[in-house]
Amino acid sequence: MCGIALSIGPEADPATFRRMLAALAPRGEVTETRAENGLLAGTRRLRVVDRDRAVQPWTSTDERLLLCFNGEIFNHRELRTQLTRLGQVFRTESDTEVLLAAFQQWGEAAVTRLRGEYAFAVVERATGRVYLARDPLGVKPLYWSRRPGCLHLASEVKALVGHRAPISEVPPGHHGWAETDGHVRLRPYVDLLTIGEGLPVIDDPDEAALLVRAALSDAIRMRVDTDLTVGVVLSGGLDSSLTLRQVRDLHPDCVAVTIGVPDSPDVAYARRLAADLDVPHVVVELRPRDIRLADVREAIRISELTEYGDIINAVVSVPIFRRLGQLGIKVVLTGDGSDELFGGYPMYHQVGPTEARRLFLHRIRNLCRTELQRVDRAAMGHRVEARVPFLDLSVVELAMRLPLGLKLRHGQEKWIVRRAFADVLPDYILRRPKHPMSYSSGLHERVRLYKPLFARLHRAFGYDLLEPVRRDFDTVLSRCGNDLDRAIADGLSRPDYTVLEHARDLVGAAKWNAAPMVRRLVGPRPARR
């Protein structure tokens, strides 16, 4: 994992480039750069794979191409074997070298062979043209902005705001070229709106359970192929629990991390599971009163998020990854993506099958700027690489082939996932009702006190150069009766909350936060001795 930055063109300025790379400092441990006429390229590299030799920017043996790469290619060993048979010679054991060799061998078709979480830029040094690519789900980020005579590329928005120019995002599953005329021409190599389309539906519960278990187990196996300690963000819910169980079996050098109010459901369930699995467990105890405006401001600075609910979740996420960073854990797995794929939200079950599929696909396409952006920024902001096995492309494709009746059955969401892992998870996890992380951790309502300030803080960092803060889409969708077309139109016509809506939300949050104080004031006093 890395933070990458490039300035390309006759007006590339070393001082500007240094500021860009400095903004990405938390994403890595070492700074590595290369400066040429009209090309400034660099990384802040988090050393995970072939830590001593995978130096970036990486150049091809013929010196024709230069690569800046953020992410991991999980099937790099398999690709290395194929490329070796085709005559490629390797200098390292890194996935970085394999990635550039794959591009040399197969050109733009190389992205269709990659299995990983990545964003990268390959520069043709002779022409200054740049090939850009981003993984299918958008787990890893890549942005660009253009000023006269220079194209700037970076892993985060904060590295580009200093140019005061509009910022654009490389969409998930897209690739293409930034030409020397300054135009960036991208096209999809994976279409998230048609994924799984045309493939046979899997409606047999036994077959579906076997396939779900095999796909998820394989996705987790690939993501624990490391000699480093592996962390798991554990809420005590279904997704993070089965992730921990699989990681424990595949990579015994692991540790679980949980956040919450000391007596919250998350902490209680997580403590019990970690003890049952005999896995070291770190609990980040955080009480509502501990969350201050400075914490909210820092979460917005790190996350760059553009929906209110995601910012609230970021405030809860940042302390988790801060603790992991302090522990020196570089690789972490999370359970993100399961709700989107396997029916973890009520809206999927309140509409017909066709509309439900549209909602599934809409959520998946937008994960890159919601949950996945939160995870990437909160983790990389503390030199931690977060991996998301539920969003392996093979798992996504499989989930799209399952009918809604296998995702919700007998009133139980994510039924097929529970069925697939019923023999390895305890009943108290399998039967636990679903609670979003920030609610069950006991911290959500405290953060809502600061919600009216989110947009102003977001603008203060210049992040509106990409996109301003807007209402939570789930709220809009609910008010539109889960009609996706109406919700999209409503969100475009009135993107932000009104003053009245903010006031109503603030009153609700204030009541919740005042309740403990009132209980202490009016409750029975302890007997005097």
pLDDT digits (tens, 9 = 90+) for 62-115: 999 999 999 999 999 999 999 999 999 999 999 999 999 999 999 999 999 999
- SS3 per residue for 93-153: CCHHHHHHHHHHHHHHHHHHHCCEEEEEEEEECCCCCEEEEECCCCCCCCEEEEECCEEEE
* CA 67 – CA 4 distance, rounded (Å): 10
Taking each continuous run of H as one helix and of E as one strand, the counts in the chain are 21, 19
Query: Is there a catalytic annotation at residue 2?
Result: yes
Which CA distances in Å does 44 have to 30, 125, 142, 516? Answer: 5, 21, 14, 45
User: Which of 355, 454, 470, 476 has the alpha carbon at shortest distance from 404?
Assistant: 355
Q: Which two tokens stand for residue 33?
A: 């750069």
User: What value, to the nearest 5°, has the Cα angle with vertex 82 and ends 189 and 120?
Assistant: 40
Q: Which backbone phi and psi does 223 adopt, to 5 degrees? A: -85, -5
Q: Tell me the per-residue pLDDT of 475-517, one tens digit each, with 9 for 90 and over.
A: 899 999 999 999 999 999 999 988 888 888 888 888 877 766 5
What is the second-level CATH architecture of the domain 205-437?
3-Layer(aba) Sandwich (3.40)
Q: How high is the pLDDT of residue 438?
A: 43
Going by their DSSP bridges, the two strands 408-409 and 385-387 should be labelled as unpaired
- The catalytically annotated residue of 2, 68, 150, 368 is 2
Where are the domain boundaries for CATH 3.60.20.10 in the chain? 2-188
Which CA distances in Å does 452 have to 370, 499, 500, 504, 510? Answer: 19, 9, 11, 11, 13
**Tokens 């903004």 correspond to what residue?**
23
364 annotated among ligand-binding-site residues: no
Burial zone of 271 (CB within 10 Å; 0-12 exposed, 13-18 middle, 19+ buried): middle
Instruction: Please say whether the dihedral angle defined by the alpha carbons of residues 365, 368, 369 and 370, taken in this order, is positive or negative.
Output: positive
Neighbours of 37 (CB within 10 A): 9
Burial zone of 18 (CB within 10 Å; 0-12 exposed, 13-18 middle, 19+ buried): middle
Contact present, 463 and 286 (Cβ < 8 Å): no
52 annotated among ligand-binding-site residues: no
Q: Which two tokens stand for residue 353?
A: 């099958």
Contact present, 462 and 447 (Cβ < 8 Å): no
Q: How high is the pLDDT of residue 315?
A: 94
Amino acid letter, 275: A
User: Which of 265, 190, 208 has the alpha carbon at shortest distance from 402?
Assistant: 208
Give me the tens of pLDDT residue by residue for the chain, a chain 529 residues long: 789 999 999 999 999 999 999 999 999 999 999 999 899 999 999 888 878 888 889 999 999 999 999 999 999 999 999 999 999 999 999 999 999 999 999 999 999 999 999 999 999 999 999 999 999 999 999 999 999 999 999 999 999 999 999 999 999 999 999 988 778 999 999 998 888 888 999 999 999 999 999 999 999 999 999 999 999 999 999 999 999 999 999 998 999 999 988 888 889 999 999 999 999 999 999 888 899 999 999 999 999 999 999 999 999 999 999 999 999 999 999 999 999 999 888 888 888 888 988 999 999 999 999 999 999 999 999 999 999 999 999 999 999 999 999 998 888 889 999 999 999 999 999 988 765 544 445 577 888 889 999 999 999 999 999 999 999 998 899 999 999 999 999 999 999 988 888 888 888 888 877 766 565 566 666 555 5
* CA 313 – CA 113 distance, rounded (Å): 34
Instruction: Please say whether the dihedral angle defined by the alpha carbons of residues 369, 58, 5 and 227, taken in this order, is positive or negative.
Output: positive
* CA 321 – CA 323 distance, rounded (Å): 5
User: Which of 401, 409, 404, 372 has the alpha carbon at shortest distance from 388?
Assistant: 372
3-state helix, strand, coil in the chain (%, to 5): 45, 20, 35
Report the predicted TM-score, pTM, of the whole model to 2 decimal places: 0.93
Where are the domain boundaries for CATH 3.40.50.620 in the chain? 205-437
What is the second-level CATH architecture of the domain 2-188?
4-Layer Sandwich (3.60)
To 10 degrees, the CA torsion angle through 505, 510, 516, 521? Answer: -140
Amino acid letter, 382: H
Q: How high is the pLDDT of residue 442?
A: 58
Helix-helix angle 371-380:308-326, to 10 degrees = 30
* CA 396 – CA 401 distance, rounded (Å): 9
Which CA distances in Å does 456 have to 308, 378, 464? Answer: 12, 20, 10
Which CA distances in Å does 154 have to 24, 147, 445, 461? Answer: 9, 14, 34, 16
Q: How high is the pLDDT of residue 509?
A: 80
Burial zone of 109 (CB within 10 Å; 0-12 exposed, 13-18 middle, 19+ buried): exposed
* CA 39 – CA 10 distance, rounded (Å): 8
Q: How high is the pLDDT of residue 196?
A: 85
